[in-house]
Structure 1
Amino acid sequence: MHAVRCARQHTRREMRKQTCTHLRRSARQCTGAMQNSELKGQAWLPDKRIHSTPQVIGELNGVIILPCSLTPGEIEVIHWTFEGKNVHSYYEGKDVFDDQDPSYVGRTSLFLDQIKNGNASLQLKNLQKSDEQTYSCYLSTTKESKEFPVQLKVEVAVWGEQHKNFTIPCSFNPGEEVVIHWRIVNDDSRSQNMLEKQDKSYKGRTSLILSELAKGNASLQLRDLQEGDENTYSCYVGTRTGNKEDKVKLHVADFGHSMEYTLDHDELKCYASHVYPSDIVTIEWYEDNHIKQQGISTSSLSTLP
């Protein structure tokens, strides 16, 4: 049984009561609005306009910001939820984690210095596939209250090395009459085994592991990776029993860099050249087998003693 500590937190019903008070609606109107919303299983929205659901896409194990904002004002309540689960709450001028769902503990944060500007966006880190949900952002100020939906999609991200061969993963539950389509998201050209319809830039560079199809392996082998191959790919698999579609973000990196040094008076500078992308290189300086300095950059400066 779930125990609610009323003295330390607001329930959604209490939030709506606050909203009604701020809007100075009559007791009858307020009660009716809350009853109607509870019967429908959704939050009461004073604003009846229909809002489209924005979608944001994040990478597995990465960080994403779920957008939510309101006209600048004194925001008293922020409540992020999905399917009745509490993701993050804020009221009385601070974050409240008493009723936060365990799967989100330590992974959520608001931009506290931006709340006064109407920014109630939620930052979610260490993204998991299970985070793929349609979230609700409920806001209450001294003047109004609104609720906004935000849909989150989580993509698998993989790294391949330029000019090397790479396998983009995709799996499915084995079945009969298998149909597989690989394509670039937002591109109607399909990269599949029907070569006459294949994009020219992939000619002769793609293949499936045919011996693995019976085991549910629909991974795509891509030869001689190019910088232009960096895209989000969609793997669609259909069988007699159903179909599924997975998206994979492919990053292409060039690790074939060279190190160069220059000495100017008492300053020694180290360069890593021919690197793509530039933010994947960490340069470390050692002295007596101990790290003296490190950073993510294509160049680094050290002062000699």
Structure 2
Amino acid sequence: MATFTGFISLFPVTDAAESKSLHVLEEAFAQGRLAHALLFQGASLETLDESCRALAKRLLGAKDAATHPDFFSVRPANKMRRIGVDEIRAVNRNIQQTANQGGRKVAVIYEADRLQLQAANAFLKTLEEPPADTTIFLLTTRPYDLLATIRSRCLLVNFPAEQDRIPSPEWREWLSDYGTLLELASRGANRSSAPELILGAYGLITRFVGIKDALASAAWKEFKKTLPETMTDEQIVAMETGYMKSLRGRMFAEIEEQTRNAALQSDDLATSGRRLDRAVQLLEKSAGLLEVNFQEPAALEYFLLSSLRVWARS
């Protein structure tokens, strides 16, 4: 299955590679070779949304695809961020009908990984027998949470996870202090260093939450201005929740990178390699706890204190 390169970020970036991806798809459309279902996957919901809207405008010949009568979409709603079968059935009915303006129809499933099983099965039938002159977009940052049968019936358009660092001096300082704490722990914990390690860990926890909230608030405020006016309050709440999780995921990725950097500073690479492997496992477990609504400070406390114990051992 073909893939195309793109460029993603939670914050403003150059769109050269992204434009190249869209150009390839537009060429396929012009030549009558565009797949009936496109699965846009990447790490940034913002980029997936912008790319989808750009191509949808081209397909519908409209300045604003979201207000076109032949544009249909469904998004997760409320903090549970689920897409139910009733919403999917409504989209299915709309795209089975004749186009209002006699041209193409476009349907978009935002955050398709949030489809409930019954909804996914209902949508699968549409993918198996797609309506004529219809293009279906599925947007997701978690493609492997989709049914394999759905993925297999779509053309994958991949926006790789290569992204800029989070542009925050406070966050860069946090990562530096985290690295310093690992270096201190690697020398071995004793009565004199233990209080410094513990206080340092709790300081990082408090700062992490504050930095994340400040970054998320500023970025969401700007991104919210770009949302279609047709979105309901429940859909906006769901999208904001997903947006915040996306930022936290990026922060965890940079913590993992900083952990690897700390391991490489050691003269004993065999020992530091074992420490690194265990620390990454702890970080992944903490991320998993957050996915089931574990409190953020508690998950970070688990990771940092457990990780420091790992680094303090010989």
Short-chain TM bin = under 0.3
In our comparison, the structure showing a higher alpha carbon Rg is: 1
Which of 1 and 2 has higher RCO (CA within 8 Å, sep 6+)? 2
TM-score when scaled to structure 1?
0.24
Q: Which has the higher strand share?
A: 1
Q: Which has the higher helix share?
A: 2
TM-score when scaled to structure 2?
0.23
